[in-house]
């Protein structure tokens, strides 16, 4: 009896970060230089723990298990790490490739997919054990291998991704776990650099770096194939240098309008989703990186590549006008809205801080120390398609 | 102005370019941060590659600092590598190229 009490005490001392609590207001901040994540909570806006030993976290991203207790962190060095955010501990880690770029979790939560640069392709793992379930090399042409980008989950236990070198989009159906069904679309455009899926899981849209325009795939009508939209958004104009590749994960939808970064132009493009035509171009301060809608769709927040990465601009989605410019500090890399949008978190990398802003008053509400923070990921992503 | 004064002046102006330095210590810190954090976005925080190629000394073997600084300043047309001339001086690009070539970019040794 005594021993088991002592055992229980010891177990309790094995430091879970909290007493019993939910995870709905938790999140994590990637600390890219130190290979750690900081666990944060959005009710009081504080940092509550740190997990170390996650490797090279440049360009790292995360998804959550359906119970929003486990985070899967995708590191640049090919490391896939499963973290228990309540215990503040790594449960599994798999150095599954040499160089990777991001990942996704399946509709039913049982599979985690990782997109890799080296060797190019997608690997799919069991989400509980991180054991390999399927290996899908991104081969094309004469034994060439492509880097893979823009990996998302889609309804029907699918994963969708694009091939940077090959200019292709692939859809993998994992309904039969041991028998992946791959549908490939070629000639979608030159150098797709990232992609997004609409919140309803219907449309997959890849941005193109090598040419103007975007590639659109209707997942409800795969037979219709991929079509090009906005093919000439900057025709005849000199492209400006792109010091940071834009991201498309933060799909910005407000009513029928979608907002995306232009490439090589200091503009946010507005797309009318009813006919996929350009509905406007909004001149902004620099090369947009993230263009993200507040969850209610009333505002769109934009951050920028160098040399304007100290600035945030806010667009009003009714008037399409810029309504605010903020200067949070040097190296504003990422934004994440709280699930209902009253506050937004910004990582200010070069000042080793994460700032929390009120999205109505634009006042800074809190500031949390972090080591070279980049991506911020809240657990609300667990229940959204494509995140 | 005499011819020798011109010579002295032009040598003075060219010196930082030829010698690749000295840059102000503060600027060197900024450039090092830029190299790791911003170049690292594509080339990896540990310079082992990403969307862009790895930039460790073994991958750069046989390439000169002049060549690398030219690539930094002008970019590589047809690829995602932009020209950094609007943000970096030739002397700064040279300094960064040398950091890459001698393997001290990651801050393990040297300045």
- pLDDT given at position A18: 65
Stretches in chain A below the pLDDT threshold 50: 1, 12
Rounded to a whole number of angstroms, the distance from the CA of A12 to the nearest CA of chain B is 37
User: What are A6's two structure tokens?
Assistant: 């002592």
Over residues B47-51, the mean pLDDT reads 88
Q: Give the pLDDT confidence of B30-41 residue by residue, as tens digits.
A: 999 999 888 988
Task: Say if the Cβ atoms of A99 and B50 lie within 8 Å.
Answer: yes
Q: Does the distance separating the beta carbons of B37 and A59 come in below 8 Å?
A: no
Whether complex ipTM tops 0.95? no
Do B45 and A245 count as a contact with CB atoms less than 8 A apart?
no
Q: By the CB < 8 Å criterion, does B76 face chain A?
A: no
pLDDT band (50, 70, 90) for residue B109: very low
Extract the tokens encoding A262.
Answer: 């232009």
For residue B85, count CB atoms less than 10 angstroms from its CB and return exposed for 0-12, middle for 13-18, buried for 19 or more.
middle
User: Cis bond leading into A369, ω under 30°?
Assistant: no
Domains of chain B (ranges, CATH numbers): 20-101 (1.10.760.10)
Interface test with B, best of A30, A58, A245, A332 (most B CBs within 10 A): A58
Structural domains in chain A, sorted by start: 28-66+332-387 (no CATH), 96-229 (2.130.10.10), 242-327 (2.40.10.480)
- Note whether B51 contacts A147, CB cutoff 8 Å: yes
A59–B48 C-beta distance less than 8 A = no
Identify the sign of the CA torsion A202, A208, A211, A213. Answer: positive
Provide the mean pLDDT of chain B.
83
For residue range B51-100, list pLDDT tens digits in order. Answer: 899 999 999 999 999 999 999 999 999 899 999 999 999 999 999 999 99
Mutate to test the interface with B, among A30, A76, A117, A329 (most CBs of B within 10 A): A76
Task: Give the residue from chain A lying closest to B74, CA to CA.
Answer: A241
pLDDT for res A4: 55
CB-nearest partner of B45 from A33, A245, A307: A33
pTM, rounded to two decimals: 0.89
Considering just the CA atoms, what is the radius of gyration of chain A in Å? 21
Phi/psi of residue A256, each to 5°? -90, 0
Question: Residue A99: closest CA among chain B residues belongs to which residue?
Answer: B50
């Amino acid at each position: 009896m005594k021993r088991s009490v002592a055992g229980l005490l010891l177990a309790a001392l094995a430091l879970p970060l909290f007493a019993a609590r939910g995870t709905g207001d938790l999140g994590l901040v990637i600390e890219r230089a130190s290979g750690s994540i900081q666990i944060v909570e959005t009710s009081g806006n504080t940092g509550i723990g740190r997990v170390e030993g996650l490797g090279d976290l440049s360009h790292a991203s995360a998804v959550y298990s359906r119970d929003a207790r486990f985070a899967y962190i995708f590191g640049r060095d090919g490391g896939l790490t499963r973290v228990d955010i309540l215990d503040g501990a790594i449960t599994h880690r798999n150095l599954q490739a040499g160089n990777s770029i991001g990942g996704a979790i399946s509709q039913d939560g049982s599979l985690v997919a990782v997109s890799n640069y080296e060797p190019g392709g997608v690997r799919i793992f069991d989400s509980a054990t991180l054991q390999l379930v399927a290996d899908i090399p991104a081969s094309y042409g004469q034994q060439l291998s492509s880097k893979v980008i823009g990996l998302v989950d889609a309804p029907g236990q699918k994963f969708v991704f694009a091939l940077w070198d090959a200019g292709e989009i692939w859809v993998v159906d994992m309904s039969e776990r041991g028998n992946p069904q791959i549908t490939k679309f070629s000639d979608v455009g030159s150098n797709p650099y990232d992609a997004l899926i609409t919140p309803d899981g219907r449309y997959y849209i890849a941005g193109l770096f090598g040419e103007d325009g975007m590639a659109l795939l209707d997942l409800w009508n795969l037979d219709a194939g991929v079509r090009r939209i906005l093919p000439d958004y900057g025709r005849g104009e000199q492209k400006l240098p792109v010091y940071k590749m834009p991201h498309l994960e933060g799909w910005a939808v407000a009513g029928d309008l979608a907002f995306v970064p232009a490439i090589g132009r200091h503009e946010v493009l507005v797309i009318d989703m009813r006919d996929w035509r350009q509905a406007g171009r909004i001149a902004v301060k620099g090369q947009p990186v993230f263009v993200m809608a507040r969850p209610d769709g009333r505002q769109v927040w934009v951050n920028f590549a160098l040399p304007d990465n100290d600035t945030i601009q806010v667009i009003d989605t009714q008037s399409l006008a810029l309504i605010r410019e903020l200067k949070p500090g040097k190296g504003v890399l990422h934004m994440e809205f709280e699930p209902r949008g009253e506050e937004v978190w910004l990582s200010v990398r070069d000042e080793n801080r994460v700032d929390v802003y009120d999205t109505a008053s634009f006042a800074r509400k809190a500031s949390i120390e972090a080591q070279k923070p980049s991506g911020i990921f809240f657990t609300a992503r667990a229940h959204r398609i494509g995140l | 102005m005499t011819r020798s004064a011109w010579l002295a002046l032009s040598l003075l102006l060219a010196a930082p370019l030829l010698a690749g330095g000295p840059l102000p210590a503060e600027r060197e810190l900024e450039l090092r941060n830029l190299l790791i954090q911003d170049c690292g976005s594509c080339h990896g925080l540990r310079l082992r590659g990403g969307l862009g190629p790895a930039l460790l000394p073994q991958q750069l073997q046989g390439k000169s600092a002049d060549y690398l600084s030219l690539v930094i300043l002008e970019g590589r047309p047809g690829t995602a590598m932009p020209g950094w001339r609007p943000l970096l001086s030739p002397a700064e690009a040279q300094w960064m190229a040398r950091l890459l070539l001698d393997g001290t970019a990651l801050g393990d040794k040297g300045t």
